[in-house]
Structure 1
Amino acid sequence: MDWITNISLCIHCTEEVEPLMRRYFNSTEDYLAFLYGPRRSHLFLPMTWVYALIFIVGVSGNLLVCLVILKHRNMKTPTNYYLFSLAISDLLVLLFGMPLEIYEMWSNYPFLFGPVGCYFKTALFETVCFASILNVTTVSIERYVAILHPFRAKLKCTRGHALRIIIALWFLSVLFSLPNTSIHGIMLQYFPNHTEVPGSATCAVVKPMWIYNCIIQLTSCLFYVLPMSVISVLYCLMGLKVSLN
């Protein structure tokens, strides 16, 4: 009797779904709105003004930081090299990431840049985020060594050493961005009759969600919990050292 019950349930579900299918099937725009929501965010105009302000201030400030460090020889210190690297990561977000964000608020779908654009977008945000975190953590470690071990800092914290560290940080950032980038791709939607919905392409996770969740948990531990713990401990130790002196 179980199979009879299952058949009756399926018929009941079909009877409930069919009116909804008929409602959206004849209109591509309505069907996309049903799947994704409105094409344009209702916060598009205010957020565009906010992003424009952030863009102007951020690009101007970070460019000035880079130009000052490059132009003045006495500013080319190990600490300023890390600040230069941090400014570069901010500029990458502002110049490449922010226009994509504004575009997606203006038109949530379709994604017009194809698989390469989807990979680039995901890899860019992942890489610069990781690079920024690693740069800030490295600066904290350098400050800790300079305050608690000043003689060791003079010997080891050289410009060549800083450059090698920065190259390693960016390499690790790119490397750890690859797992999340690899599970993204172009996702298409289909009508109930299994034909492709025109203009439905989006850049989204195309692999099973458990893989995505594992990657997010791992990167959160490596690039949030661990750096935050290291920075907190180092600044507590520096605070104790300064207070005792």
Structure 2
Amino acid sequence: MDEQQNASFTLPGHFLPSDDPLLRYLNSTEEYLAYFYGPKRSHLSLPITLVYTLIFLVGVSGNMLVCLVILKHHNMRTPTNYYLFSLSVSDLLVLLLGMPLEVYEMWSNYPFLFGTWGCYFKTVLFETVCFASILSVTTVSVERYVAIIHPFQAKLKSTRRRALRILITLWIFSILFSIPNTSTHGIEVKYFPNGSLVPDSAMCTVVQPLWIYNCIIQVTSLLFYVLPMGVISVLYCLMGIKVSWMTSIYMFKHIP
């Protein structure tokens, strides 16, 4: 009878043989969770927290000053500074909302305490601000290219209203493109081999098939990393050629 009891345990849809290493963790919730998730607290939590604290203080103060200067002084509200304002806002969102959560998870990796909607918010926040920052930097590069290659056209078209429309569009696109990856995430819980729920096992992680997640990551990497990097590289090369050419002409005309 004892051999039959120890022969196997049944998970929903799983068969656990008697020599499975999970059998040793049936009476220890902490060890069982550590087997799947690793240690609850990172051994680098203290030094990383100190570094994050320094980044937080410098980042929040610097980006807040940028935003306040642009908002307070009317003459600073130029199209280029609007893009800088957008970058500062995205940085502040990460610093004020994302970084505290990252620090908390280093000290307590599980359970995730904010539920399914908290998991969605965490994922969509990081995705949106990352995409918005990349698109803002790319847009600034395009604006600089037009200003150097076509200065008269840039003077006519580069207005604050146009910059605001572009920024609103960029943020809307960033939110929309963050939804696919967010939809693959959710709350995952673990069960003991006897089918009972493991306490404090909730984790915010990918819950959809990995091939869907990998496809989304590949598409977003192409659209928001490879493509912008290529565009920025080409534009700055063209600007460098243009500036070098203009410098050569200037020096040729002024050399006695």
Q: Give the TM-score normalised by structure 1.
A: 0.93
The alpha carbon displacement at 1:176 in A equals 0.2
Distance in 2, Cα, partners of 1:41 & 1:140: 39
If you compute each CA radius of gyration, which structure gives the higher value, 1 or 2?
2
Q: Which residue of 2 aligns with 1:102?
A: 103
Taking the TM superposition and a 5 Å limit, the aligned residue runs for 1:120-135 are 120-135=121-136
Task: Indicate the residue corresponding to 2:143 in structure 1.
Answer: 142
Q: Which one-letter code corresponds to 1:179 in the other structure?
A: P
2:19 — aligned with what?
Answer: 16
Deviates more, 1:73-82 or 1:21-30: 21-30
| CA distance, structure 1, for counterparts of residue 169 and residue 154 of structure 2 | 19
C-alpha separation in 2, matches of 1:229 and 1:100: 33
TM-score (norm 2): 0.89
Post-superposition offset of 1:16: 2.6
SS of alignment partner, residue 26 of structure 1: coil
2:231 paired with 1:230: yes
Q: How far is 1:15 from its partner? A: 4.0
Structure 1 unaligned spans of 5+: 1-12
What corresponds to 1:88 in structure 2? 89
CA distance in structure 2 between the partners assigned to 1:14 and 1:130 by the alignment: 46
Aligned residues: percent identity?
Answer: 74
RMSD: 0.8
Q: Which letter maps to 1:168? A: T
Output the CA distance in 1 between the equivalents of 2:194 and 2:147. Answer: 67
In structure 2, C-alpha distance between the alignment counterparts of 1:238 and 1:121, rounded to whole Å: 38
Distance 1:92 1:218 in 2: 25
Q: Classify the secondary structure of the residue corresponding to 2:116.
A: helix
Where does structure 1 differ by over 4 angstroms across 4 or more consecutive aligned residues?
A: none
Q: Quick one: which amino acid aligns to residue 129 of structure 2?
A: V
Distance 1:15 1:194 in 2: 16
Aligned position for 1:151: 152
1:22 offset after TM fit, Å? Answer: 2.7
Cα distance, 1:194 vs. partner? 1.5
Query: Which residue number corresponds to residue 241 of structure 2?
Result: 240
CA distance in 1 between partners of 2:91 and 2:125 (Å): 11
Q: Give the letter for the 1:200 counterpart.
A: S
Q: Which residue of 1 aligns with 2:55?
A: 54
Give the structure with the larger helix fraction: 1
* Structure 2 residues not aligned, in runs of 5+: 1-15, 247-256
